[in-house]
Amino acid sequence: MNKLHYWVKQYRTKLSGLLGILFLIFAEPTLSSLTISLVLIVAGEAIRIWSSGNIHKNERLTTDGPYSLTRNPLYVGSFVLGTGFVVAMNVFWLAVVFLTFFVTIYWFTIRWEEKKLKGVFPIEWEEYRKGVPRFLPFLRIPSYRRGEFHWSQVSRNKELLNASVVVVVYAILWGKALLMG
């Protein structure tokens, strides 16, 4: 299992990029699907920016801001963002591929990260794990603890690069819709 975790960690970004290119090839966007999807795309990227501006990777266990509501707000944002792009692409089987890919990749990624955090922050991690849901709160919403958002953290965590890729992909889909339309 450790080799598989390592492999997923090493290649998930490359696999995501390759899958994104394939999705663009098979996409059949319409002006309607692009308009509807915009809310999800903006919301997903906003969640990712908010999360990136609060996390201090490898420095401390971040438990405030969006991390007080879910232990994985970056991945929640990625899921919302990806769902938005699937809506924009307007092809049902792409939704099935996206969901399968997302669940598989992030199941391994989250477990690997949790093991790492438990090792680095054993006492804090256990308390945090008990009080905050892994992905989405289903039975109760945890108490929100205000965090300190910093644009410098967004930049340090390379989320501005991700946001620029989101804009470029969305523009490509608009271009494709106009050409197909």
- pLDDT digit string, tens, across residues 12-22: 778 888 888 99
The answer for residues whose C-beta is within 8 angstroms of residue 126's C-beta and 6 or more apart is 118
Q: What tens digit of pLDDT does each residue of 98-154 get? A: 999 999 888 888 988 999 999 999 999 999 999 999 998 777 788 888 989 999 999
CA angle (99 as vertex; 98, 100 as ends), nearest 5: 95
pLDDT digit string, tens, across residues 7-49: 666 777 788 888 889 999 999 999 999 999 999 999 999 999 9
Which pLDDT value is given to residue 165?
A: 94
- Comparing CA positions, the residue from 83, 78, 107 lying closest to residue 94 is 83
Q: What is the pLDDT of residue 152?
A: 94
CB 70, CB 134: distance < 8 Å: yes
* DSSP three-state, residue 33: helix
Which sequence spans correspond to the domains of the chain?
2-8+26-134+147-180
Q: What is the chain's length?
A: 181
The pTM score is 0.91
